[in-house]
Amino acid sequence: MKQNLKISISLLVVTLIVYLPLLLSPQKLLSRENDLQEQFWPVFYYLRQHFLQDYSLAFWNNLFFSGTPLLPDPQFSLFYPLNWLLILLPTDYAFFVWLILHTFLGGLFFLILAKSVFRFSIITSFVLAALYITTPRLGAYLEAGHYGLVGTLAWLPLVVFSSFKLVSSKRIKYIILLGVSLAALFYLHAVTLVLAVPASLLLILTLSLLTKSNLIKTTFRFILAAITSLGLTVVTLLPQIEWLPQTTRFLLLQDRLLKR
């Protein structure tokens, strides 16, 4: 127990060291004229002010263009529990807390994956987790202001972990864990989810064949995990499907196809 606490604290220290330049100079994160400053910060500031002033959730943003829907847009969803940090805390501080928390969780979950699935020693697992925290990809996401992609780094190790466990264990908690992890990816970056679902299924099927597990049962467990994920995302997914044909990106793509 004490060892786990020490390892967790050590990973938190590594995470804080990674973010130290930004903590010392917050504007390097918040004022880069990227997606964080131009899109995400204003919308979450609006959500916070709406909640504090009207004591209700905003599902429509009437400040951008002729108004934009928020409910069908998963990247602004308050149905992702950790996004409530961006409502309850002042927006500048909230983004730092949100980013640091997800980066730390990513390292912690990667350590669990390395130790529990791949059976590495605790020292090796810690080193790998520290390397995962310091991945250059994190810097690229922060530079671009893609806060959601930073969040995906927290949940991807759990997708891999639960996929492995789904094959070797009959416990329902791993079905739920995979479903929750995939749902989190939907709210953070839907494209990552689109890639993660077939990758998880392929991993499960491959492991089932290699370990000679019952392919039908493992596939059924994956389907249950997918249903769990769907249940956690349907409140945003269905409005998104209805809204998609009206989005600017969809209309521009359709116009390009028609011109061809």
Return the structure tokens found at 192: 């990552």
pLDDT in tens, 172-225: 999 999 999 999 999 999 999 999 999 999 999 999 999 998 999 999 999 999
Q: In the prediction, which pLDDT does 139 show?
A: 94
Domain boundaries, the chain: 2-259
pLDDT (tens digit per residue) in 68-127: 888 888 988 889 999 999 999 999 999 999 999 999 999 999 999 999 999 999 999 999
Tell me: the pLDDT tens digits for 11-33? 999 999 999 999 999 999 999 98
Inform me whether the pLDDT recorded for 154 exceeds 60.
yes
Nearby residues of 242 by Cβ (< 8 Å), 6 or more positions away: 72
Nearest to 14 by CA among 98, 96, 108, 92: 108
Rounded Cα gap, residues 45 and 51, in angstroms = 10
Q: Which residue, chain included where needed, has tokens 């990816």?
A: 185
Q: Which residues have C-beta within 8 Å of that of residue 178, sequence separation ≥ 6? A: 158, 159, 162, 163, 166, 200, 222, 225, 228, 229
User: Given this model, what pLDDT does residue 190 score?
Assistant: 92
Structure-block tokens of residue 28: 């390097």
Helices marked H in the chain — which ranges? Answer: 2-24, 27-30, 35, 41-54, 85-88, 91-112, 122-133, 136-144, 147-168, 172-188, 190-211, 215-243, 248-259
Per the prediction, the chain carries an average pLDDT of 92
